[in-house]
């Protein structure tokens, strides 16, 4: 699975959690907070994406993630 597929999974998950969102706004340089996700939404995006990708990343590892690109990179390292 390449990085674009990880990103696509994140995009689908974000749109599931935030159905009002314009799909094109989900870009690597954006943050979930900028897109209107609250802390619960963000946690849900992470758990749903991990579930879809079949990866299991310790919660502490997400502390350094700044944007959607960073989230994708972290998940990709655990594939």
Residues that bind another protein (CB under 8 A): 16-17, 19-20, 40, 43-44, 46-48, 50-51, 56-59
* Residue closer to another protein, measured from CB, 48 or 74: 48
Closest distance to another protein from the beta carbon of 37 (Å) = 12
Contact (Cβ atoms closer than 8 angstroms) between residue 17 and residue 46: no
The residue among 33, 28, 30, 36 whose CA lies nearest residue 8 is: 28
* Residue closer to another protein, measured from CB, 19 or 23: 19
Closest distance to another protein from the beta carbon of 39 (Å) = 8
Contact (Cβ atoms closer than 8 angstroms) between residue 28 and residue 45: no
From the CB of residue 3, how many other CB atoms can be counted at a distance below 10 Å? 14
């Amino acid at each position: 699975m390449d990085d674009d597929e990880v990103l696509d999974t994140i995009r689908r998950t974000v749109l599931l959690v935030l159905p009002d969102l314009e799909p094109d706004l989900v870009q690597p340089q954006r943050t979930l907070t900028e897109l209107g996700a609250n802390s619960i939404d963000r946690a849900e995006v992470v758990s749903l994406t991990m579930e879809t990708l079949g990866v299991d990343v310790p919660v502490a590892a997400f502390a350094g993630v700044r944007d959607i690109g960073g989230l994708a990179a972290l998940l990709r390292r655990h594939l």
